[in-house]
Amino acid sequence: MRAIVVRAFGGPEVLTLEETATPTAGPGQVLVRVGAAGVNPADTYIRGGSYAIKPPLPYTPGRDLAGTVEAVGDGVTALKAGDRVYADGVGETSGGYAEFAVCEARHLHRLPDRISFAQGAALGVPYGTAWHALVNRGAARAGETLLVHGASGGVGVAVVQLARARGLRIIGTAGTDAGLALVRAQGAHHALNHRAAGYEEEVRALTGGAGVDLVVEMLANVNLDRDLDLLARGGRIVVVGNRGRTEIDARKIMSREAVVTGVMIFGISPSDLAGAHAGIGAGLENGTLNPVVGRELPLADAPASHVAVMESGAQGKIVLMP
């Protein structure tokens, strides 16, 4: 089969397309014919070799994938050949950037017919993280005001859709006009440009000066101190993304009796993970969740996909189509 192989940690150029042996499903595992693989920022951190997850070399990247069950290993009864599935991105896998991938059966979930494989590849890490941030750590309640700081990317779109279905009032940010239009189309009540001077004043004005109840933050090293300024008394900030150190005035936490917390999807408990994908499955079924695919690229363009996912101007997910 064709697969992307990484033989040394490094830049995007270490992602090479090779002919490799098709893996086989062992006990408790499933062989999936990959329809699409999601490209996550974490894939680039892992490829660079300085992330907490460091696979033995060589390896095939890609934890998020959707496709069709090709074969099941011993002991797998919940799935059969031909079933449409997506991976939750948390379990062990032989790698989604390939024509076939082996996944643990318990980390695969049914993909409804109306959701394409490209959309299915946008579900695992982004929607799992969004659910974990919004529901488990953020304790979002209907009627609250939510700031999705970075709403145009894979996780942000998922947070907006989940929050809209749960009755929150949503302010989402993006860095381009196309991103802002996308954020509005996904259900945000207001969309603001996080590159425009003074947009924080608009957040304050939209809450009548009271501040937002909850922030889901995609770039904490840039925004965390300002998020605290925008927070209502008793508000919560859930950090999802961070790419460097930052300085905050802790007095702002004290005066608001605020909570600053974070999520790490790869460390989620089995019960929180099961809850997240039960909820996501319900949203796919009732039509409130509709993953947005911004770019579909062939497997050979994996290096370009890793460059693109780290650039600004997100419009939903980037996926690879084997």
Task: Catalog residues that contact ligand NAP under the rule CB under 6 A.
Answer: 40-42, 125-126, 129, 149-156, 173-176, 179, 194, 218-219, 222-223, 240-241, 263-265, 309, 312-314
Question: Which residues are CB-neighbours of 114 under 8 A, at least 6 positions away?
Answer: none
Q: Which is nearer to ligand NAP, 84 or 137 (CB)?
A: 137
Q: Compute the distance between CA of residue 124 and CA of residue 273 in angstroms, rounded to an integer.
A: 10
Q: Which is nearer to ligand NAP, 20 or 207 (CB)?
A: 207
Question: Which residues are CB-neighbours of 219 under 8 A, at least 6 positions away?
Answer: 149, 150, 241, 242, 243
Nearest distance, CB of residue 221 and ligand NAP, angstroms: 9
Q: Which is nearer to ligand NAP, 250 or 264 (CB)?
A: 264
Amino acid symbol at 65: L
Phi first, then psi: give them for residue 195, nearest 5 degrees.
Answer: -105, -5
Nearest distance, CB of residue 158 and ligand NAP, angstroms: 8
Nearest distance, CB of residue 175 and ligand NAP, angstroms: 2
Torsion of CA 153, 143, 222, 255, to 10 degrees: -170
Nearest distance, CB of residue 206 and ligand NAP, angstroms: 17
210, containing H or E segment: none
- With 0-12 CB in 10 A as exposed, 13-18 as middle and 19+ as buried, what is 51? middle
Taking CB positions, which residue lies at the least distance from ligand NAP? 153
Q: Which is nearer to ligand NAP, 49 or 73 (CB)?
A: 49
Q: Which is nearer to ligand NAP, 41 or 55 (CB)?
A: 41
Nearest distance, CB of residue 76 and ligand NAP, angstroms: 27
Nearest distance, CB of residue 218 and ligand NAP, angstroms: 4
Torsion of CA 186, 181, 129, 242, to 10 degrees: -160
Q: Are 212 and 232 in contact (CB under 8 A)?
A: yes
Q: Which is nearer to ligand NAP, 142 or 197 (CB)?
A: 197
Residue keyed to tokens 């004005």: 205
Q: Are 314 and 16 in contact (CB under 8 A)?
A: no
Nearest distance, CB of residue 31 and ligand NAP, angstroms: 26
Q: Which is nearer to ligand NAP, 154 or 211 (CB)?
A: 154
